[in-house]
Amino acid sequence: MKERILLRFQHGGRPMQAVSFHANTGIAFDTPKDASPLNVAIGVQSLQPVRLDAVRKRHDWRNNEFKLDVVLEDGGLLLSGFKGDPDGLPAGPYDLTVEVESYRFRDPSPRVILRDGKQANVVFDAEVDTRDIALRGNFDKVTDKIVQASAVDGQPLAQWLTSKNPRAVRKACLLNILTKLAAPPMPKVKKGLAHRFQSFHFADVDRVYGIVDPALKEDLNGFVEKEGWVFEGRPKAAVHKKVISDAIARFPTDLAGKTEKDFRLESWRQGGRNCLQLVIALPLFPHSRAYAEADIDLGNPLWDLDGLFVHLGELLDPGRTDHFDVHKKLDKGETGDFVFYDIV
């Protein structure tokens, strides 16, 4: 009775304390710190599935359904019987699988033997990413203006980019997006989209938030008419709503009393591979600026079937979009003249 499994995490052999966890938003660690919680996926596979039958019958679960409670405890994640069921996680052998966004574990799928009435402790050791970025010092005037006007994690962006505090993959993500904004957004268009961005105020391992000129929408609609971009409409994934909640919390004076209902969320995707997705929160009230989320997808699910498979792979594998790999692709292609850093 009361069998439990405690998942702990390390980074290069040093403890990573989980400081928050919510099934809908993800996990956050004390170090290295990230901008927002990271997506996490946990798989528990019994090697003696007959032991689970009594639990399913007791909860009236069908079609091999099986649920567990997962809560934050003692700096890790504790797995136990669903809704406090003391017999909800039977003793026996299990294969575990854990994925955390942008991390790679040395052994992501260990086997654990859960003893009667005991707690099994499992440590997931994340590999240390020794890669870093070295700025080339080649920002064009428009990009440099954005950098000078921006601040991330409470630091001026120019300082943040040379700091050792943020994970290098976050810096690579932001710089790759600056590359895509500076480069021509489609054939026969010579001017990039950087002039429509005023500043950035948030950067994560896979997306950034910034302040934009509302006229960006008209530019993107023009690209759609020329069949170089695709208009998605309101984005389907709930994560995109965060660009609104972040802006309301970050700019309380400008957006006092505003809620999600005061904005219209619209998404555009660039055609081809390594494409930009721009999600704009357009104010439904008189306002001089809009708020945008920018990210880079390996493929465009609205562009072709191959792109659909690639994008679904990103959603299923949190570590798949590696922005250092994206950098290598940008450096070799038509965007090569707009790459702003080297990998060291």
Mark whether 259 and 281 lie in a shared domain: yes
pLDDT digits (tens, 9 = 90+) for 144-187: 999 999 999 999 999 999 998 888 999 999 999 999 999 999 99
Predicted TM-score (pTM) of this structure: 0.80
Indicate whether 122 and 137 sit together in one domain. no
Shared-domain flag, residues 207 and 336: yes
Mark which of 95, 126, 157 sits at the end of a domain. 126
Q: In this predicted model, what pLDDT tens digit does every residue of 288-341 receive, in sequence order?
A: 999 999 999 764 443 344 433 433 333 334 444 689 989 999 998 889 999 999
Q: Are residues 120 and 198 in the same domain?
A: no
| Same domain, yes or no: 227 and 180 | yes
Are residues 121 and 139 located together in one domain of the fold?
no
Name the domain count of the chain.
Answer: 2
Q: Which domain holds residue 217?
A: 133-343
Indicate if 221 and 288 belong to the same structural domain. Answer: yes
Contacts of residue 195, defined as CB under 8 A and 6 or more positions apart, other chains included, come to 142
Cα 37 → chain centroid: 8
213-227 average pLDDT score: 97
Please give the pLDDT value at position 308: 39
d(CA 254, CA 150): 17
User: What is the phi/psi pair of residue 178, to 5°?
Assistant: -60, -40
Q: What is the pLDDT of residues 243-258, one digit of tens each?
A: 999 999 999 999 999 9
- Tell me: do 200 and 92 sit in the same domain: no
Residue 241: count of CB within 10 angstroms of its CB: 17
Q: Same structural domain for residues 138 and 121? A: no
Question: Does a cis peptide bond (omega within 30 degrees of 0) precede residue 185?
Answer: no
Q: How far apart (Å, rounded) are the C-alpha atoms in residues 72 and 17?
A: 10
155 and 40 together in one domain: no
